[in-house]
Chains A and B, each alone.
Chain A
Amino acid sequence: MATSFTRMMRGRNTAMILASVGAGSLAAGYLLSDSAAAAAATAAERQRLYPPSADFPDLRKHNNCMAASLTPAIYARLRDKTTPKNWTLDQCIQTGVDNPGHPFIKTVGMVAGDEESYEVFAELFDPVIKDRHNGYDPRIMKHPTDLDASKITSGMFDERYVLSSRVRTGRSIRGLSLPPACTRSERREVERVVVTALSGLKGDLSGRYYSLGDMSDREQQQLIDEHFLFDKPVSPLLTAAGMARDWPDARGIWHNNEKNFLIWVNEEDHTRIISMEKGGNMKRVFERFCRGLKQVEHLIQERGWEFMWNERLGYILTCPSNLGTGLRAGVHIRLPLLNRDPRFKKILENLRLQKRGTGGVDTAATGDVFDVSNLDRLGKSEVELVQLVIDGVNYLIECEKRLERGQDVKIPSPIPQFRK
């Protein structure tokens, strides 16, 4: 790949230097620390042998955000750059090259290997982010963070319709590479930092960690029955990005004793945090979510760590689709009449909501129960998004009740995208 060739060119230069000082044969190999040393001298040689056009991927059959934004000119400017940890553009886009895309769903097609990826490769990430997040422009806009659950109103749903409520997000530990790029030691360090912090949680948040590699059969079955267990990713979107390497090393699941606060360690992100419970008390779910998040953040800060965050992009996660809040707040809901109404799709769209099957993304609804959640992640705060879900779901329930009574429903006016 492009980076390997950079090293080969650097290596050849280094070989000449080493040979001239009599440092031994090629057979000894090169020390990794040499690779940075000869970088500058080889750029010209590399351009001559393999110009960026030779490496530019064939994206003619592709339908993802990366392919829509990556031009030969951008590729030429970014190909030879690296983040401070040596992550390259080719590594960011490999998943998008290997997965041309779904005809109906436009996938993102690139990932970050570390926090700096979003800066070093901003020329490609920024238009991709804009494409994916409805025009949010990281160059000029700021993302609001608000985890004050007390601001939520009307957060209790009619439980004749809402079966369960859930809020999830992700957090990354600053200073350690993200799952596509991390070494085994970095991944183990993420696990250590997070598990140590979680062991400091008390009261209704106190709980236990289950390492994927060390789990007993009985524990495994229990976690499967509770719908907590995550498996090695099989989606080629994820495996092509390299995040399944070394499975199941340093992966695990933590949950509190009450089984309504759950954390995944080292799956697609450093951490995924989930607050959930049966029934319609979304306000309580979000309150526990915010409280838990703040406590975990405090516990890692005590030991000198922090979450990846900046005011341009909010919380930094592996996939650009999860930037900002990384938040998906949703319910499992039964709306048999509205579901069959031809206007349902438009109603959801205007409310900035999304319908999924009860198995999550890319699953089908079973027996009229489906998952409804926010579409947006970036450009609106956590409080705004959860309130939007609450107001939207309440509207849907109103529609269902009206249809039950033989009354008509109205398509609501569309919610504006960003605060002007």
Chain B
Amino acid sequence: VYLYSPAILWQKETEHNLKTAFKTAVCLWMILLKCKFCRVLGVSCNVIKPKDVARLHPLVNIHDLVGALHLPGDSVVSPPDVNHALAVASAAHGVQIYEHTSVNHVVVKKGHVTAVETDRGSIECEYFVNCAGQWAYELGQSGEVKVSVPLHGCEHFYLLTKPLSEPVQNDSPVLIDMDGRIYTRAWHGGILSGGFEKNPKPIFTEGRNQLEIQNMQEDWDHFEPMLSALLRRMPGLESCEIQQLVNCPESFTPDMRCLMGETPGIYGYFVLAGMNSSGLSFAGGAGKYLAEWITYGYPSASVWPLDIKRFGNLQSSRTFLRHRVMEVMPLLYELKVPRWDFQTGRQLRTSPLYDRLDMQGARWMEKHGFERAKYFIPAGKDLLALDQSKTFYKPDWFDIVGAEVKCCKEAVCVIDMSSFTKFELTSAGDQALQLLQRLCANDLDVPVGHIVHTGMLNQRGGYENDCSVVRLSKNSFFIISPTDQQVHCWSWIKKHMPSDPQLHLEDVSWKYTALNLIGPRAMDVLSELSYVSMTPEHFPSLFCKEMSVGYANGIRVMSMTHTGEPGFMLYIPIEYALHVYNEVMSVGQKYGIRNAGYYALRSLRIEKFFAFWGQDLDSFTTPLECGREFRVKFDKDTDFLGRDALLRQRVEGVSRRFVMLVLEDHDTELDVWPWWGEPIYRNGELIGVTTSSAYSYTLQRHVCLGFLSPTNTDGSPATVTADFINRGDYEVDIAGQRFPAKAKLYPFSSLFAQQKRRKDDMELSNFQSK
């Protein structure tokens, strides 16, 4: 999210050319890690010494500072001026602005926005943008068709002072002291200072206090920690007189990122809200992307992390939002550590096995409201307290996950993967097949029982979804997608689905519990439970059979594990979940079965170079860029979405390429770990960024996945060839320290020699982010 802030200000300056005062600014970010983001984005920034801080801003107490991050290009604008400039500029282009008009509701007909009902009559429209800020949630709920806009207001306080005896210069830098949780800037010769406190005050949970925003109560006792932090940082302000303490509520979202894009299910209904108190700095870029979205149907860069479709109705509970934003708001000024899990709003969606796993030591993470086990703490062993385990170095779960990975490699592990999004597409005739052939790049016209890994691509050939499709019968398909695709994939399929009463799409995510049996002994466990031989001769890879497991009949057993390891996925109707789990665990005892979590899965997946939709893959990544051309069937009968773009790209060559980097000379114990977002250097030049990384227990090295996107000398994107990649010397910059790395285009196979890898193992799936 931070990436957007400076970038967007740039755009604002260049595109709108507003006559608003831009001022340079200093940001006192204390963390060196921040620096790398800015460099990657091309924003100029540098780390400066305390005495330079004093020179730039004489009021600052520098005695406890180690250094500061200086962003010379940062700027300050005045919201009313920006508003005015925008209004004048747009009015010149024929835009009409109605003031003092309240929107009652939005009229939706046949899934399309048609008009807006206001207290002064109705306005017909094709597109509607809900950017009602605090009230976006309420406005979304007001229509006949409800739109879920998950955001919640919190009171936000900032202080205005009278001018100092020696007025603060207008061009003095903006100051952010994250330890003190405050920001400060010059204001009419005095100071404007606010902050993001540890104990936020959520407000308007009931959402009916629109008029109260005009006269919100000041709360000095609440502001005390921030006032003290301000006076600690700028002791000279003590004699400065108070002008006012302003209480100006801001809206926050469940994951600290704003909400934008078209809402699922209603065409033409766009949202831009939940700016997490950064509305003004994001405004330029967010407006640009949204405008593109409305005009072309998609924005010019991947905005999946901000897409409103990452949320669904399930994040719309007011209680959930209230509790979550109380956790989110303080995080704005906290150090964001890797693998952070929210503590509030948890245990919303759980597998029927939740209690069983929890009792066995599961530690949980949450994805799209679903609880998933990260790893299992062995009995008698205890991890560090939550606060202490926040680290950029080797985490305390290292050995635990290592043991789980070892068990996956040598025996068998069970991972509960029920969070996956599961759809069933059925039709009377062959409509289902036709739809999927159009949506998917791979060929779905396979014999019944086959599983096909495929991307669902957009017109540009980019991944809208990366899924596994099972042909259950001639005209019914089972589609398994990543967890957070629940809303996005649904609306993508719906958007392209002809309105045919004989074609039926159903979300069956809740109906099945998914158990992943990973490991060489998985087939022994299953054959003991089903009296059916599960050897590769009888049950080849990427097959699906309905069979009995224990007493339970009708379990969908699929020979894939999403990791490249041998094993099976079991899709179990939820009422059988406990039975099947108990049977598997008791029979598996003699094969050394144990529970494993997502961290083990992640390590297995990344060392096998499997990409991850939502983190590695996005709607601007094509199969050709990530080495998955073999999953694109150009010669199938149907002209699938994205085919033309891919054909063109095949001729022109790709300008970015997904690679695997194996770190060398990296001390796992002592060096900062790579997590994601680290800059990649080729022959000393910045060439890309990592998208995910994990420690490979097999290679005993860190493996990073990332994209290389080289440029020609004139700055235009250059074509990437295998030769280009193989000829470079690579380094990954982790927190300012560069580590040499080996780049690879294909996964290791010799190192996994003990597992006889079948040819189609290459195709084994790859979407851990589910």
Q: Do A and B bind each other?
A: no
Q: Which B positions have Cβ atoms within 8 angstroms of A? A: none
Report A's interface with B, CB cutoff 8 A. Answer: none
